[in-house]
Structure 1
Amino acid sequence: MTSVTPESAGWRYSGLRVLDLDGAVTFETGEDEVLVVPLSGSCTVECDGEVFTLDGREDVFAGVTDFAYAPRDAAVTVTGQGRFAVPTARASRRLPPRYGPAAGVPVELRGAGSCSRQVNNFCTPGVFEADRLIACEVLTPGGNWSSYPPHKHDEDRPGESVLEEIYYFEVRGSGMAYQRVYGPDVDVLAEVRGGDVVLIPRGWHGPSMAAPGYDLYYLNVMAGPRRAWEICDDPAHAWIRDTWASQAVDPRLPFRSGVTT
């Protein structure tokens, strides 16, 4: 089971659990607000006397999913079969539990050409209310690059981070992908496979590279002292965005049920 807490990551806000479930599990949220996001399968989520039925999906490439939000200082019971992501963030406000319908998830086709990818903005500022938590899904057809141009979410003052970010990966089939992270104190190019996690407390990150023949999914979990999507491109590579105007979006997008690439 994947389990990242602020304590285990050595930072202050972001966390993630991934549950492989055949039955029921109950947990306390403590200081964290949480989401329950079906990666595969369906479930019910009980919290504060509310019961939400999540229809879920066959797998992460089959389309967007519905999800549930639970506040800090609550008991949550998840009952179902499948794999479920539980993104978390240390929260100061206690908001009510809520259901997020799949029909309300904005799907963005970002980039063009070999930089085409799909972004499911299910828990981003302006889309779904949370105290600090930001979460979205990115799907990249085999052979394409995403999280590109490389970018960062931290300020230019050493040691100060706006957003602590977690990447959770799944790869269609038995393939691999690659993730780049670099900065003054880090220089990593890592092979990633299904179930792998990369933690990014600061610095430039990208590209996320889908190997030819293997579609790539990642869940981004972000949180910081304020809920704002602070982002800036690496100026050495920002010009890449200007090339997209003359290219078409990859016709393999969007991913949806029954369609393979």
Structure 2
Amino acid sequence: MAVRNEWFFPRGALSSGPWESVIDGSIDGWWHTGIRVADVDDAGVELPAADVERIVVPLSGAFRVEHEGRTTELEGRAGVLDGPTDILYVGCGEGLRISAPAGGRVAVAEAVTSVRKPSAYLPKADVPVEIRGAGRDTRRVHNFGTPDALDAAAIIACEVVTPAGNWSSHPAHKHDEDVPGHESRLEEIYYFEAAPHSGLNAPGNADAFGTFAAYSSPAGDIDTGAMVRTGDIALVPFGYHGPAAAAPEYDLYYLNVMAGPGENREWLISDDPRQSWIRKAWESRLPDPRLAEAQHQKAQNGAHR
């Protein structure tokens, strides 16, 4: 008998109005975070003011965001594998309208909060870029929505690019209980995209994919094992999660959105104790040379922080 991945949603499975996917509190057992994804044109999409803070993340294309009598132009990017994007944080209690005169694809990351923080624009040159891991565990992280980069109330957000054949969200880890100074309780959203690795001359019908896993911890039972493609979403309410693995011919991207019930906005994790040794093993290996350019960009961005 097939096992249903109850916390995994293929592209379009949660469509609503102009949105291809909507994750919010209407999902049973989901409380603190949300995401909306849409293909947008000049007609735009609107979101009302609410007790929600939001980050507008261009996936492809450039965007105009109107919010509380102001207009912010987002330069965006050609696609999620083309480096960091500029983003707009819109604080709790503000409505917004997003449009793309030339067309584009956008994600809106959300967290429930009643704490009001001022809206803020972050240029792509100021996005902290981190090279994490070593060898085939190397990935590039764009930390535009982490506590060090963004003054927000509850939301923590970043995006990860995993080159073809590499693993990320590895070793498997969890953040589903409050252990002061060691672990924070956070829901997490994974929004995925995948594409053929550059230079491989893939045919137009190539089925770009990666894989993602989540499994049970003392906080709850979860069993996600999925091939993931562009537009798919995995939710992690609890449990160990990882790896997210890119197939050898395809690059894998994901956008992470986290928030929880705690007063402190911090990302503290506990590795699966059977896998924690992997971090020590990185010390004897070099990062994937394909990410050397991103390492240089990280150093440049450090001058802005």
Match of 1:59 among 52, 68, 79: 79
Indicate the residue corresponding to 1:169 in structure 2.
192
Indicate the residue corresponding to 1:7 in structure 2.
26
Indicate the residue corresponding to 2:113 in structure 1.
91
Q: Which moved more, 1:170-179 or 1:102-111?
A: 170-179
**Cα deviations by residue, 1:171-223 (Å, 9 ceiling, x for unpaired):** 01431111010014122211111100000000100000101110000000001
Preserved contact between residue 16 and residue 86 of structure 1 (Cα < 8 Å)? yes
Match of 1:132 among 151, 154, 176: 154
SS of corresponding position for 1:7: coil
Larger Rg: 2
SS of corresponding position for 1:37: strand
In structure 2, the CA distance between the partners of 1:97 and 1:156, relative to structure 1 (3 Å rule), is closer
What is the alpha-carbon distance in structure 2 between the residues aligned to residue 104 and residue 88 of structure 1?
Answer: 21
1:112 aligns with 2:148: no
What is the alpha-carbon distance in structure 1 between the residues aligned to residue 169 and residue 255 of structure 2?
Answer: 12
1:102 aligns with 2:124: yes
What is the alpha-carbon distance in structure 1 between the residues aligned to residue 188 and residue 148 of structure 2?
Answer: 19
SS of corresponding position for 2:26: helix
Matches within 5 A, 1:1-261: 1-8=20-27, 10-23=29-42, 24-80=44-100, 81-155=103-177, 162-173=185-196, 174-184=207-217, 185-226=221-262, 227-253=265-291
**Deviation at residue 156 of structure 1 after TM alignment:** 7.2
In structure 2, the CA distance between the partners of 1:65 and 1:9, relative to structure 1 (3 Å rule), is farther
What is the alpha-carbon distance in structure 2 between the residues aligned to residue 228 and residue 67 of structure 1?
Answer: 20
What is the alpha-carbon distance in structure 2 between the residues aligned to residue 252 and residue 136 of structure 1?
Answer: 20
SS of corresponding position for 1:127: coil
**Deviation at residue 10 of structure 1 after TM alignment:** 2.3
Q: Provide structure 2 residue ranges, at least 5 long, that are not aligned to the other structure.
A: 1-19, 197-206, 295-305
More strand by share: 1
What is the alpha-carbon distance in structure 2 between the residues aligned to residue 18 and residue 99 of structure 1?
Answer: 20
What is the alpha-carbon distance in structure 2 between the residues aligned to residue 255 and residue 178 of structure 1?
Answer: 26
Indicate the residue corresponding to 1:259 in structure 2.
none
RMSD over equivalenced CA pairs, Å: 1.7
Preserved contact between residue 163 and residue 230 of structure 1 (Cα < 8 Å)? no
In structure 2, the CA distance between the partners of 1:179 and 1:255, relative to structure 1 (3 Å rule), is farther
Percent of pairs with identical residues:
49
What is the alpha-carbon distance in structure 2 between the residues aligned to residue 75 and residue 167 of structure 1?
Answer: 24
Preserved contact between residue 47 and residue 97 of structure 1 (Cα < 8 Å)? no
Counting matched residue pairs gives 254
In structure 2, the CA distance between the partners of 1:231 and 1:114, relative to structure 1 (3 Å rule), is same
**Deviation at residue 41 of structure 1 after TM alignment:** 0.1
